[in-house]
Structure 1
């Protein structure tokens, strides 16, 4: 296994996930890529026409700077995450879209041989209602998944 993809987000558990994934990659002498997904950035600041008699959106001007600002924040976050691992060979990738689908697509595109993710400690109700990104990926992935359990 020569390619380890580590999916991280803005949650503090990402530090433990990045470190555990990086340690795995070092043990395998594998290439590392840190991945962060901006979930559906295109929907922020969108101006919609009146629909179903609702014109609440009509007074809102689209904030085209919002998507750029979110991208800038993500780039700063990924730069810090890479610096934290202190290895210039680590690459980073920022994608946009549905988190689970985007992770799966990029893992395949990049040729990841292991995908590393953390598991947030959501309540049972939240898991039943919303599912989890890790659960959705586990259902559909063809790539071996290395999950880092995080307990509160």
Structure 2
């Protein structure tokens, strides 16, 4: 990248064109998933790249609702055995349907979709490497401190561990002053 100075009041940067052949877009069930998918897909299409959209099914605990009493507040997690294998398969089907509806929303039947298992960041990186993707797109969620303790930061782990460039889509709604 070369910075050009003196040609205008604003800095200019000359960047080599991105030679992107394939992009992996990682989505969760956050309401911002649509924005992440649309923004990332537009970038991939502008580069003529193929698209792989994934959703990671992590530990069962991520799919078990918190036990919350309106009077007492958070009282813990229900026992893990409450989620039966049949229910887990239903969750997998729901994840597949979520990805299919995202593909339909983007209007491109050539989009490859996959439901992955395991740790969020590890599954994303492993698939990205196996598929030889050139760019990984993820959303940057603003999470509470409690959620970060429970799940860690997928974005932070990907930034630290990835040898593949990342495209971060900010999803936090900016408050107007």
Whether TM-score is above 0.5 comes out as: yes
Rate the CA distance shift 1:44–1:87 in 2: closer, same or farther, 3 A. Answer: closer
Using structure 1 for the length normalisation, give the TM-score: 0.82
- Find out whether 1:34 has 2:44 as its counterpart: no
Rate the CA distance shift 1:104–1:151 in 2: closer, same or farther, 3 A. Answer: same
Q: Deviations over 1:12-46 (max 9, x none)?
A: 1110100011001111100001010001249989x
Larger radius of gyration: 2
* Structure 1: tracts of 5 or more residues without a match: 46-56
- Helix, strand or coil at the partner of 2:113: strand
Using structure 2 for the length normalisation, give the TM-score: 0.71
Aligned pair count reads 139
- Once the two structures are TM-superposed, the CA of residue 67 in structure 1 deviates from its matched residue by 1.6
Distance, in Å, in 2 between the alignment partners of 1:62 and 1:4 is 34
Rate the CA distance shift 1:80–1:128 in 2: closer, same or farther, 3 A. Answer: closer
Q: What's the counterpart of residue 3 of structure 2?
A: none
Q: Is the 8 A contact 1:41 1:96 kept in 2?
A: no
* Structure 2: tracts of 5 or more residues without a match: 1-19, 65-78
Distance, in Å, in 2 between the alignment partners of 1:2 and 1:146 is 15
Moved over 2 A (4+): 40-45, 125-131
Distance, in Å, in 2 between the alignment partners of 1:90 and 1:44 is 26
Q: What's the counterpart of residue 100 of structure 1?
A: 121
The structure in which a higher percent of residues are helix is 1
RMSD: 2.5
Q: What's the counterpart of residue 28 of structure 2?
A: 9
Q: Is the 8 A contact 1:34 1:93 kept in 2?
A: yes
